[in-house]
Copies of this chain bind each other. A is one copy, B any other.
Amino acid sequence: MSGPSLLVPGGIATPRGFRAAGVSAGIKANGHPDLMLLVADAPAHAAAVFTTNKVIAAAVSVSKEHLQRSGGVVRAIVVNSGCANSCTGDQGVADAREMTATTANLVGCPSEQVLVASTGVIGVNLPMDRVRAGLPAAFEALGADQGAAAARAIMTTDLAPKESAARIAIGGGPVTIGGMAKGAGMIEPNMATMLGFVTTDASVPKPLLDRALRDAVDRSFNAITVDGDSSTNDCVMLLASGASGVTIDDAGYGPFVEALTTVCRELALAIVRGGEGATKLVTVNVTGAATGAEARRAAKVIANSLLVKTALHGGDPNWGRLICAAGRASVAFDASRAEVTIGPLVLFKNGQPHDELAPAAADYLKAKELTIGVDLGSGSASSTVWTCDLSAEYVRINADYRT
């Protein structure tokens, strides 16, 4: 993958045509930044993907409705951290609507051109007096140099802000893509919702933009797992300003989506690296699957297996746990043709263990970034998923959360 070479410093406000801000509105008791505003200088094309959880937060339902009503044309995104505004009933929806209406007044656009996201504790209503006071302050603070402040304002239990940007030459000139994300579990429902925001100064027709976001998210945010949970608030939003003067057509789609995927993957891997209690980033490659969907399913089952994750934490080259997880994934799997690799080492092949390689594999597993592989021996499809190890620290973080 040549992706990383495209990377440039920057984030959400690096592409031309965007300004961002992050301020402390007092939604978080500790005074940390908790209100983010992203504004496009002119109406931008927008695409978004949302949580598949049946329980959806107020912001998710309002943003979905606004995308529909605006025909995918968006001027601003407003995000608060410190309160998920989820399971908060009609008041929650009214509050989310008010956030978009107030932002729209400041920006000077219809409120359906504003998207909204929230992350934090669920079952608690937003302190709207603080949101009302914070929004004009955030509007005042907007700047093309405020991407880093914006990235800090969407954090909850994240150990560090997560930003990424890439620049490529397409058609007439350089196109920039920038993004930021937050999330520390995939996805802890109270404080670690996964949110991703990406901008580009390319002009991208709405159908291509939708397709590009789905493609990129499938190989980035949807290919990671920390603990197998998914929250009521998850979303990834993409805005295209067109300020670069470059229009993405079918010919430019390939390079564009590769750059977009690179940015999204950097952000997604940053979430896994910073996963709750995580000490290792693990790439899980499943090959030899009958279909792509089966490859992905097997990779997710392996990546979420507690026994695999604890073995990786302990540096135990326990290939039996890998083959066992693949075996229960409800996918075509031929044990006699299957193969299990830990780094470059083949621990199981042709139905036979190679435990003589276990000491070398244990050495390999001491690294902080690992690759493990299972070939299902049943076809030619493959999938890659990223996960982290499971540590006692994860249990401590989540058992002691509110106590």
Contacts and interface: CB of A to CB of B under 8 A. Distances in A.
A8 interface: no
A353 B87 contact: yes
Interface string A61-82: 0000000000000000000000
A55 interface: yes
A305 interface: yes
Interface stretch (A133-141, A150-158, A317-325): A317-325
Tallying the copies of this chain within the complex gives: 2
Contact of A392 (B121, B189, B306, B395): B395
Contacts of A327: 53-55, 232
B398 A314 contact: yes
Interface string A186-206: 001110000000000000000
A229 interface: yes
A29 interface: no
Interface string A311-338: 1011110111101111110010101000
Given A55-B323, A319-B123, A320-B189, A307 B87 contact: no
A232 B398 CA distance: 31
A324 B55 contact: yes
A227 interface: yes
Interface residues of A, number: 61
Contacts of A325: 229
A191 to B, nearest CB: 10
Interface in A224-241: 227-232
Contacts of A398: 306-307, 310-311, 314
A324 B229 contact: yes
Interface in A363-403: 390-392, 394-396, 398-403
A11 interface: no
A333 B87 CA distance: 14
B229 A328 contact: yes
14 contacts: A53-B324, A54-B326, A54-B327, A55-B333, A89-B352, A122-B320, A123-B320, A123-B348, A123-B355, A189-B321, A232-B324, A306-B394, A310-B395, A313-B395
Interface of A: 52-55, 86-87, 89, 121-124, 185, 188-190, 227-232, 305-307, 310-311, 313-316, 318-321, 323-328, 331, 333, 335, 348, 351-353, 355, 362, 390-392, 394-396, 398-403
